[in-house]
Amino acid sequence: MSIFTHLGRYMLTLKGMFARPENPKMYWREFMHQCVEIGIGSLPIVLIISAFLGAVMTVQTSYQLVSNLIPKSTIAVVVRDSLLLELSPTVISVVLAGVVGSKIASELGNMRISEQIDALEIMGINTKTYLIAPKILASLITVPMLISLSIIVAIWGGRVVGDLAGVIDTDSYDRGLREEFIPFNVTVAMTKAFVFAFLLSSVSAFFGYHVRGGAFEIGRSSTRAVVVSCILILLADYVLTLLMLNP
């Protein structure tokens, strides 16, 4: 199948989601369930990765800024902006593409193979609206939250490790965090978070929903969902950076 066929089917799948819910209460329940699955379910891995991300970033930045002419607080400025503009949104989204994306793809793939999606269709339920839309909406809500949390935890991780390793004291770090802060960077981070959330959830749902075959194909579609999501996230990262940060 050509890339255009996949793209066409992807667009049709997304279009198919826009239908009136049979029972809004049930859709709300499914949406909340997905928020818990995606948001709370991914919280531990996001927190662990973020803490280490900030810690490593602080130590590495101090290693590179060896001149006595550069104030120590610059380390915190570099760490803050790197985490905000690039590391937290991109790294966490790539991790979530693996954690959440593969889960979405294999869950839908398993439902397809075991005819559970057909069973829903027979009941007269729009399966794209019921199964895919809540996952995408839940991702759009929870992934930016996770990324916001990741930025905070990573900055905190850098502060703790910077102090423990004797790289930068907490006062200089805190001062650095407040120096030359550009609020627009938060907008960039959140824009990236929303776009990446949409990509990782919709692409994974697409691959899972259209599985044909058996257990082997579920595994393959799950892998493909993660790979394609990661590539698209990196591509979107590049495009958004060009659009939003190119002077």
Partner 1 sequence: MITARNIKKSFGEKTVLFDISADFLPGKCNLIIGSSGSGKTVFQKCIVGLFTPDSGEVLYEDQNMHTMSTEERKKLRQEIGMLFQGSALFDSMTVEQNILFPLEMLTNEPQRKRLDRVNEVLEKVNLTGSNKKYPAELSGGMKKRVGIARAIVLNPRYLFCDEPNSGLDPQTSLLIDKLIKDITTEFNITTIVNTHDMNSVMEIGDHIIYMYQGYKEWEGNREEIIFSDNKRLNEFIFASEFLQDAKEQRMRDLRSKG
Residues of this chain that bind partner 1 (CB under 8 A)? 19, 22-23, 25-26, 110, 114-116, 118-119, 121-126
* Closer residue to partner 1, CB minimum distance, 25 or 69: 25
Alpha-carbon distance values, 188 to 146, 156, 177, 191 (Å): 15, 21, 18, 5
* Closer residue to partner 1, CB minimum distance, 169 or 217: 217
* Closer residue to partner 1, CB minimum distance, 118 or 179: 118
Whether the CB-CB separation of 149 and 40 falls below 8 Å is answered with no
Closest approach of partner 1 to the CB of residue 226, in Å: 22
Cα atoms in the 13 Å half-sphere on the side-chain side of 190: 8
Closest approach of partner 1 to the CB of residue 208, in Å: 15
Closest approach of partner 1 to the CB of residue 37, in Å: 11
Closest approach of partner 1 to the CB of residue 62, in Å: 48
* Closer residue to partner 1, CB minimum distance, 122 or 242: 122
**Where do the H-state alpha helices sit in the chain?**
3-16, 24-35, 41-64, 73-82, 92-96, 102-113, 116-122, 127, 133-164, 170-178, 184-209, 215-245
d(Cα 55, Cα 179) in Å, to the nearest integer? Answer: 20
Closest approach of partner 1 to the CB of residue 209, in Å: 15
* Closer residue to partner 1, CB minimum distance, 121 or 179: 121
Alpha-carbon distance values, 91 to 8, 42, 70, 163, 214 (Å): 29, 14, 28, 24, 32
* Closer residue to partner 1, CB minimum distance, 2 or 67: 2
The rounded Cα 112 to chain-centroid distance in angstroms is 25
Closest approach of partner 1 to the CB of residue 125, in Å: 6
Task: Quote the DSSP letter at residue 179.
Answer: T
Nearest to 81 by CA among 49, 64, 55, 57: 57
* Closer residue to partner 1, CB minimum distance, 86 or 217: 217
Nearest to 93 by CA among 234, 235, 244: 234
Closest approach of partner 1 to the CB of residue 3, in Å: 20
